[in-house]
């Protein structure tokens, strides 16, 4: 399995995704500030991986604190959480991961737990979230595999694979599960300008698994759909609003509209931690704007004339009406999403782990 991130006694070790596919190197974060830098600089990226990284960052900060009393530790936890929360705005998993550790910390403090035990408990919870993320990906695969064509080509955009999670992947996990069940699937990976998550990361990890992969420039999908060469589309998500509108990597919206026009099913695969019932719709999802240099430069070389204005939104929101189904670890959601999402969230809050809806 691809080790995207790993808790070690010395800190959190991250596969440096900015160096792939040419170099497999690791970055060791020994304090929470370094974890924040790793997330901001996209050494780790992808919503579920960001969520677990943030949780590990808070746990690392608490574990390494030299505070000897709770008021001092409380003040540190505030700063740690804020620092991590300011790294990237769109993937709601980031805030979920921070909150998961913070709420445990608060419960332990309320129960007068001694500081060494608090430290052990938050580290254990962050490590458990890593395992739970892999289990959620496997479960998404199990729920979504039958939606994939028995034989054909599936298009994906960005990287929603092992690299974007703690392993196996969300969208790519569904493809992997279908192939494990005997489906004959080839993958088209959109290159995903400007950060090239598709060309660099999706292609790298699928080829490692011997899954036939073809890289497309982002403007090629429409022509291939028209020729009948794409049977399904599956992508991940960074935040799913209460009505099913879904933020994912910039360019996802265009692919979804094209899929609808050509009668091709368009699936989203994401864990429940990506659903944000407090955000009513796609217009309310904060969209990260990244540096112009990601667009103007390629491999350190300037590609555009000086003086051109640049847009670089990292994500877009796809309206729910373009989404055929949302595959989660608890089951497959269908329209009307405002109802199916609410029902699933309520059922999971009330019921056992991995409740199936
Ligand atoms: O900017 P990134 O690389 O963090 O964006 C990642 C995506 O948009 C993924 O598709 C999404 O996070 C789902 S990952 C399972």
- Predicted local confidence at residue 351, as pLDDT: 81
CA angle 20, 21, 23 (to 5 degrees): 65
Tell me how far the alpha carbon of residue 247 lies from the centroid of ligand 1, in angstroms: 9
First to last CA, the chain: 29
CA atoms within 13 A on the CB side of 173: 34
Tell me how far the alpha carbon of residue 60 lies from the centroid of ligand 1, in angstroms: 24
pLDDT in tens, the chain (357 residues): 778 999 999 999 999 999 999 999 999 999 999 999 999 999 999 999 999 999 999 999 999 999 999 999 999 999 999 999 999 999 999 999 999 999 999 999 999 999 999 999 999 999 999 999 999 999 999 999 999 999 999 999 999 999 999 999 999 999 999 999 999 999 999 999 999 999 999 999 999 999 999 999 999 999 999 999 999 999 999 999 999 999 999 999 999 999 999 999 999 999 999 999 999 999 999 999 999 999 999 989 999 999 999 999 999 999 999 999 999 999 999 999 999 999 999 999 998 665 565
- The dihedral built from the CA positions of residue 159, 163, 169 and 174, taken in this order, carries a sign that is positive
Tell me how far the alpha carbon of residue 97 lies from the centroid of ligand 1, in angstroms: 16
| 158 Cβ closer than 6 Å to some ligand 1 atom | yes
The count of other CB atoms within 10 Å of the CB of residue 153 is: 17
Ligand 1: nearest atom to the Cα of 249: 8
| 165 Cβ closer than 6 Å to some ligand 1 atom | yes
Structural domains of the chain sorted by starting position, each given as residue range(s) with its CATH number in brackets:
5-138 (1.20.120.420), 141-354 (3.40.50.10470)
Tell me how far the alpha carbon of residue 151 lies from the centroid of ligand 1, in angstroms: 26
| 48 Cβ closer than 6 Å to some ligand 1 atom | yes
| 122 Cβ closer than 6 Å to some ligand 1 atom | no
Q: Is 58 exposed, middle or buried (0-12, 13-18, 19+ CB in 10 A)?
A: buried
Question: Catalytic site residues?
Answer: 238
- Predicted local confidence at residue 315, as pLDDT: 98
| 61 Cβ closer than 6 Å to some ligand 1 atom | no
């Amino acid at each position: 399995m691809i080790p995207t991130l790993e808790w070690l006694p010395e800190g959190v070790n991250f596969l440096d995704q900015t160096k792939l596919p040419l170099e497999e190197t690791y970055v060791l974060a020994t304090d929470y500030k370094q974890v924040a830098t790793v997330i901001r600089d996209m050494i780790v990226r992808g919503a579920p991986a960001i969520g677990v990284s943030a949780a590990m960052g808070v746990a690392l900060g608490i574990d390494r604190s030299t505070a000897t009393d709770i008021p001092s530790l409380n003040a540190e936890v505030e700063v740690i959480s804020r620092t991590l929360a300011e790294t990237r705005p769109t993937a709601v998993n980031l805030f979920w991961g921070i909150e998961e550790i913070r709420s445990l910390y608060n419960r332990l403090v309320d129960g007068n737990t001694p500081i060494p035990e608090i430290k052990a408990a938050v580290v254990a919870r962050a490590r458990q979230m890593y395992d739970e993320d892999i289990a959620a990906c496997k479960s998404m695969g199990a729920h979504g595999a039958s939606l994939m064509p028995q034989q054909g080509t599936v298009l994906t955009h960005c990287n929603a694979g092992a690299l974007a999670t703690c392993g196996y992947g969300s969208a790519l996990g569904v493809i992997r599960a279908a192939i494990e069940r005997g489906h004959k699937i080839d993958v088209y990976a959109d290159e995903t300008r400007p950060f090239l998550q598709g060309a660099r990361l999706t292609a790298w990890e699928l080829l490692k698994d011997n899954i036939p992969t073809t890289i497309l420039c982002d403007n090629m999908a429409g022509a291939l759909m028209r020729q009948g060469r794409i049977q399904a589309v599956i992508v991940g998500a960074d935040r799913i609003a209460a009505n099913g509108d879904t933020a994912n990597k910039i360019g996802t919206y265009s692919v979804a509209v094209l899929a609808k026009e050509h009668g091709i099913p368009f699936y989203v695969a994401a864990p429940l931690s990506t659903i944000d019932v407090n955000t009513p719709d796609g217009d309310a999802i904060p969209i990260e704007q990244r540096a112009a240099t990601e667009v103007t430069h390629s491999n350190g070389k300037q590609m555009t004339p000086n003086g051109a204005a640049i847009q670089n939104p990292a994500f877009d929101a796809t309206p729910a009406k373009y989404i055929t189904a949302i595959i989660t670890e608890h089951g497959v959601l269908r329209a009307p999403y405002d109802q199916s999402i609410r029902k699933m969230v309520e059922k999971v809050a009330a019921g056992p782990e991995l409740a199936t809806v």
